[in-house]
């Protein structure tokens, strides 16, 4: 049995839409992981057949395997590495904070985040009109892409990560990420203006324990021109954008229009960079939790963050057709330098 995306799913076609979470922990035996993921599938009403498959290997192999998974017999997949546990999930069913709940279930511990949900009174742009405005934007002022050395043929993803001391606010990461992208493009003789950043947000917050997708995003443009305080203010006032799921009363006709537009305009509708921060995480017995969000459209580059016990793991993820691991490590170094 294959788990198809639910009705109203607006995600860009041609992408596997798997988000990933890793944690440094003495990994439970494979048999125990199988039993726990099967129990989770039963509680969620997902197909149990095949739910207990566990991908094993070193971290790069497991990340690439789970990122590329396109036959979703169940929404969640599990990996086991010498360093710990990897969880992958289809974004139509599970968001980043939901992955924390899955990780806790697999490791038999409590994993929660102090992240708060977006203000319920925030303006929304989850309708066909928002797509029309985006189409007008890309026609006149398309966002910059990140220059890269990908071979154009590899269908997989590439990853990079680093650990920094201290927690960081999302706005600080957005400012550092946009500045580092502009620097990287300038050094290569590419456009360094019109840096657009999508900021992943939760509509529920980190205390939610259900496994679900309550995500959305807000979108900022010309971020390379903004100072730290201006980025903070822009995040506070930006409207909530439609994401992968058509929650919030989008009509069937509008959903169809959005899907068609996203498919045809994906290379130009996407932002330069997606930033998604899981916040400060309380996790008994787990260290160095790393989040690998997915970015569609454009060059598809995402910056993930998670803070545990005063240390933050930053990750970059991109499509290998456009970027190499070296590209991401250089960019990650630039972001870390800007964070000081």
pLDDT tens, residue by residue, 315-333: 999 999 999 999 999 999 9
- From residue 3, give the alpha-carbon distance in Å to each of 33, 48, 66, 73, 97: 20, 11, 16, 5, 21
pLDDT classification of 132: cutoffs 50, 70, 90: low
pLDDT over threshold 70, residue 133: no
pLDDT classification of 165: cutoffs 50, 70, 90: very high
pLDDT over threshold 50, residue 247: no
In this predicted structure, what is the pLDDT of residue 251?
45
Greatest mean pLDDT among 5-9, 18-22, 261-265: 18-22
Domain ranges of the chain: 18-113, 124-339
In this predicted structure, what is the pLDDT of residue 277?
97
What is the rounded distance in angstroms from the CA atom of residue 308 to the CA atom of residue 277?
12
pLDDT over threshold 70, residue 249: no
Mean pLDDT of the chain: 85
Contact 230, 224 (CB under 8 A): no
pLDDT over threshold 90, residue 16: no
Average confidence (pLDDT) over 187-197: 93
On the CB side of 4, how many CA atoms lie within 13 Å of its CA? 3
In this predicted structure, what is the pLDDT of residue 204?
84
pLDDT classification of 9: cutoffs 50, 70, 90: low
Average confidence (pLDDT) over 283-302: 86
In this predicted structure, what is the pLDDT of residue 124?
61
pTM of the model: 0.89
Average confidence (pLDDT) over 191-201: 93
- Count other Cβ atoms within 10 Å, centred on residue 129: 10
pLDDT classification of 2: cutoffs 50, 70, 90: very low
In this predicted structure, what is the pLDDT of residue 151?
85
What is the rounded distance in angstroms from the CA atom of residue 255 to the CA atom of residue 249?
10
Structure tokens at 83: 């360093």
pLDDT over threshold 80, residue 36: yes
In this predicted structure, what is the pLDDT of residue 256?
53
Contact 172, 339 (CB under 8 A): yes
Average confidence (pLDDT) over 132-149: 73
Q: State in words which class domain 124-339 has.
A: alpha beta
177: closest CA among 240, 228, 217, 113?
A: 228
What is the rounded distance in angstroms from the CA atom of residue 315 to the CA atom of residue 332?
8
In this predicted structure, what is the pLDDT of residue 248?
44
Average confidence (pLDDT) over 283-311: 90
Q: Is 180 or 207 the better-scoring residue by pLDDT? A: 180
At 59-98, the pLDDT tens digits run 999 999 999 987 666 899 999 999 999 999 998 889 999 9
pLDDT over threshold 60, residue 305: yes
Handedness of CA 148, 273, 296, 38 (dihedral sign): positive
């Amino acid at each position: 049995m294959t788990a198809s995306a639910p009705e109203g799913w607006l995600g860009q076609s041609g992408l596997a839409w798997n988000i990933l979470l890793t944690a440094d922990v003495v990994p439970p035996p494979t048999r125990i992981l199988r039993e726990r993921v099967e129990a989770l599938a039963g509680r969620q009403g997902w197909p149990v057949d095949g739910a207990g498959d566990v991908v094993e290997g070193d971290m790069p192999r497991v990340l690439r395997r789970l990122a590329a998974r396109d036959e979703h017999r169940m929404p969640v997949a599990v990996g086991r590495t010498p360093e710990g546990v990897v969880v992958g999930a289809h974004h139509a069913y599970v968001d980043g904070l939901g992955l924390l709940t899955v990780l806790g279930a697999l490791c038999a511990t409590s994993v929660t985040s102090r992240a708060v949900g977006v203000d319920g009174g925030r303006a929304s742009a989850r309708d066909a009109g928002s797509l029309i405005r985006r189409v007008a934007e890309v026609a006149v002022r398309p966002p910059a892409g990140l220059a890269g050395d990908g071979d154009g043929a590899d269908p997989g993803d590439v990853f990079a990560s680093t650990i920094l001391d201290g927690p960081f606010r999302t706005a600080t990461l957005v400012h550092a990420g946009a500045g580092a992208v502009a620097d990287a493009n300038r050094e290569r003789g590419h456009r360094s203006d019109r840096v657009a950043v999508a900021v992943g947000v939760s509509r529920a917050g980190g205390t939610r324990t259900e496994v679900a997708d309550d995500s959305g995003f807000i979108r900022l443009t010309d971020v390379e021109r903004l100072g730290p305080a201006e980025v903070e203010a822009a995040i506070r006032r930006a409207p909530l954008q439609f994401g992968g799921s058509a929650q919030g009363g989008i009509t069937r006709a509008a959903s169809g229009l959005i899907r068609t537009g996203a498919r045809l305009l994906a290379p130009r509708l996407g932002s330069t960079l997606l930033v998604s921060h899981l916040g400060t995480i309380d996790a008994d017995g787990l260290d160095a939790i790393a989040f690998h969000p997915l970015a569609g459209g454009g060059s598809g580059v995402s910056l993930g963050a998670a803070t545990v016990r005063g240390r933050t793991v930053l990750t970059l993820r991109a499509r290998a057709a456009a970027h190499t691991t070296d590209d991401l490590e250089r960019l990650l170094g630039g972001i870390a330098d800007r964070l000081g």
